Amino acid sequence: MNLESEDKPLIDVQSGMIDRKIFSDENIFEQEMERVFDKSWLFVGHESLIPKNGDYFLSQAGREPVVVTRDDEGKVNVLLNLCTHRGMPVCRYDRGNAKRFTCPYHGWTFSNNGELTGLPLNKEGYEGKLDRSRWGMIKARVACYYGSIWATFNESAPSFEDSLGDMAFWLREFMMGPDGEDDGLEAVEGILKSEIPSNWKFGAENTAGDLYHDVSHNSVQRVGIALTGLRTRHVWNADKNTFRTLNVAFPAGGHAIRANLYDTPNREYFSQWSQIPEADEYFRNAHYARQKRLGEKERLLNRGGIVFPNFAYNSANRTSASVWVPRAAGRTEVWKWVFLPKNAPQVVKDTMRNYLLRYAGPAGMVEQDDFENWHSAQVGSESVAAERLPMNYQLHIGHAKWAWPEPWIGEGALVDEGVSEHAQRVFYDRWYEMMTGKPRVFRKEAAE
C-alpha cells in the first residue's frame, strides 16, 4: 500500500478518524522503518549501566540491534551490532566489559569504539590492502541527555534537542531524581522483555495519553494495588491539593506528556507511601527539595508521556520506561526499563522495584490488561468486514489550546484538559507528516 496514492487519507486527525490498515499492513510497516524510525532519535539506554570504560550492553534502536559501549576514552558509542563482513551480530552477551568484540563467524575483530582492528588473513587474503577505516562497525550519532542515551543512524536528522523541541525540559525533568536533581536516576540491571502480537503504535498511542481506558484496569483497582491502600490506582484521588489534569502535546515532534497542574505553588506533600515509613520520609524530603529547585515549574507533576515515536515513560511512583521495539506489523517487543533514584536509601529502592514488578512487567498486574487490549485491537485492525469504518479518535476533539496561562509549559505545546484523545491525534499527525511529507495539521502558524 502506498500512502500517497490513497484516494482518502488514512489519517484524518481533524475529524478524529484513522484507517485501521496502519496497524496491519506490512508495506506500511516497512515504510515506517525507513520514514519514521530511521529518521528519529531513539532511546537505547542509560549511562548508569556503563559506568566504567569498556562496559557495554545490548539494546535496540527501533528494529536495529545495537551495542552501547563506553570506550577506552570514556566516550559513549552506539554501534550497529552487525558484522560488516557478512552481517552476524558481533557482540553476543547482554552486557559485560570488553576491549574488543570478535565476530564468531570469520573472526573479524572490532574495538569497543567500533574500529576494525583484527582481520584474519590480512596479508595472505587481502594483501594488506583492505581499508579498515571503511569497514568498522556502523556507528550511530549519539546524544547523552541527563543520563539517558539516544541514537540515530540518520546523518541528516536534526539534532536531538531540536527534535525534542519544548519536550526537552519535560524529558529532563523525568530524568531528575524525585528531589529535582538533574541526572538523578539509575537504571536497574536487566530489562523486562515481553513480546505481544500487536502493532507497536497501540502501545505508543496509549502511553501518549489514554486517560480513557480505566475500565480495563478495574480488577486491579479492586485489589487495591496502590501504595496508599486505596481501592484505586489513582493515588491522586486522595490528594487534597487541587489540580487540573492536562494532556500536553508538542506537535512539532509528536511528543506528549500527561500531567497534574496544581492550582497553586508550594503545595503540601501528599503521601503515596504511607505504608512504608522510610519511603514516606524520603519522598517527603524529596518533594520539598524539588519545590526549591524547580520554582514555578514544580506546579506541574509530569505523570508520564512519550518521546515520539517509541519511548514511553511513567514517572511519579513507578519510574520506568517502555520501548516499543517494532518487529512486524502485528508483532512488538516491549522492553521495560526500570529506574530508581540514585540517592535513595536501599530500602526505598527495594520498595520501588518490588512495587514496580507487582504493577508492571511480565509478572505484574496492570500491564497484562493493556497487552490484552492491544492484542485484541490488533485483531480488529485485521478484519476485512470492519474495514468500512475507520478507528475512532474523536474524544474531546476541538478543545485543545496553544496559549496556556503557564507559558513555561512550552511555547510549542498544544494542551487539552481532562479525558481526551488529544495526544493520540497529535501522535498520528506527526506520524502522517513523517510518512508522507505532507504538513502537519497541528501547527501554531496554521492556527493563527
CB nearer to ligand FES: pick between 103 and 187: 103
Nearest distance, CB of residue 216 and Fe ion, angstroms: 6
Using left for φ > 0, alpha for ψ between -120 and 50, and beta otherwise, residue 254 falls in left
Judged by CB under 5 A, does residue 370 bind Fe ion? Answer: yes
CB nearer to Fe ion: pick between 137 and 334: 334
8 Å CB contact between 68 and 55:
no
CB nearer to ligand FES: pick between 81 and 152: 81
Residue 105 binding target from ligand FES, Fe ion, none, CB below 5 to 8 Å by type: ligand FES
Nearest distance, CB of residue 134 and ligand FES, angstroms: 15
Closest CA to 72 of 91, 54, 55: 54
Beta bridge mates, 320: 314, 338
Q: Which of these ranges, 57-65, 283-291, 296-304, 370-378, lies near Fe ion under the rule CB under 5 A? A: 370-378
Spatial strand order of the sheet with 148-152 comes to 42-46, 148-152, 141-145
State the number of binding residues for ligand FES (CB under 6 A).
9
Residue 106 binding target from ligand FES, Fe ion, none, CB below 5 to 8 Å by type: ligand FES
Judged by CB under 5 A, does residue 47 bind Fe ion? Answer: no
Nearest distance, CB of residue 140 and ligand FES, angstroms: 19
8 Å CB contact between 167 and 307:
yes
Distance, in Å, from the CA atom of 419 to the CA atom of 121, rounded to the nearest integer, reads 65
CB nearer to ligand FES: pick between 111 and 272: 111
Mark residues 28-67: x for contact with ligand FES by CB under 6 A, - for none: ----------------------------------------
Residue 83 binding target from ligand FES, Fe ion, none, CB below 5 to 8 Å by type: ligand FES
Judged by CB under 6 A, does residue 106 bind ligand FES? Answer: yes
8 Å CB contact between 174 and 201:
no
8 Å CB contact between 17 and 393:
yes
State the SS3 of 26-66: HHHHHHHHHHHHCCCCEEEEEHHHCCCCCEEEEEEECCEEE
Nearest distance, CB of residue 84 and ligand FES, angstroms: 8
Closest CA to 115 of 96, 90, 86: 90
Residue 88 binding target from ligand FES, Fe ion, none, CB below 5 to 8 Å by type: ligand FES
Sorted by sequence, the CB contacts under 8 Å of residue 256 that are 6+ apart come out as 208, 209, 247, 248, 249, 250, 305, 306, 423, 426, 427
Contacting ligand FES (CB under 6 A), which of 103, 119, 171, 256?
103
| Cβ count near 260 (within 10 Å) | 19
CB nearer to ligand FES: pick between 101 and 262: 101
Judged by CB under 6 A, does residue 222 bind ligand FES? Answer: no
8 Å CB contact between 186 and 337:
no
Nearest distance, CB of residue 99 and ligand FES, angstroms: 18
Nearest distance, CB of residue 233 and ligand FES, angstroms: 48
Judged by CB under 5 A, does residue 205 bind Fe ion? Answer: no
CB nearer to ligand FES: pick between 86 and 401: 86
Q: Which of these ranges, 290-298, 325-333, 346-354, 365-373, lies near Fe ion under the rule CB under 5 A? A: 365-373
Judged by CB under 6 A, does residue 108 bind ligand FES? Answer: yes
Judged by CB under 6 A, does residue 105 bind ligand FES? Answer: yes
Which parts of 83-102 interact with ligand FES (CB under 6 A)? Answer: 83, 85-86, 88
CB nearer to ligand FES: pick between 118 and 197: 118
The amino acid at 23: F
Q: Rounding to the nearest 10 degrees, give the CA dihedral for residues 179, 408, 427, 10.
A: 170
Residue 370 binding target from Fe ion, ligand FES, none, CB below 5 to 8 Å by type: Fe ion
Distance, in Å, from the CA atom of 317 to the CA atom of 448, rounded to the nearest integer, reads 39
The amino acid at 196: I
Q: Which of these ranges, 169-177, 270-278, 368-376, 433-441, lies near Fe ion under the rule CB under 5 A? A: 368-376
Nearest distance, CB of residue 220 and Fe ion, angstroms: 9
CB nearer to ligand FES: pick between 103 and 164: 103
Distance, in Å, from the CA atom of 375 to the CA atom of 358, rounded to the nearest integer, reads 21
Q: For residue 104, is the peptide bond before it cis, meaning its omega torsion is within 30 degrees of 0?
A: no
Distance, in Å, from the CA atom of 404 to the CA atom of 17, rounded to the nearest integer, reads 26
Residue 80: is it exposed, middle or buried by C-beta count within 10 angstroms (0-12/13-18/19+)?
Answer: buried
**What sections of 114-270 are H helices per DSSP?**
122-126, 160-164, 168-174, 200-209, 218-223
Q: Which of these ranges, 39-47, 106-114, 131-139, 144-152, lies near ligand FES under the rule CB under 6 A? A: 106-114
Residues that bind ligand FES (CB under 6 A): 83, 85-86, 88, 103, 105-108
Residues that bind Fe ion (CB under 5 A): 370
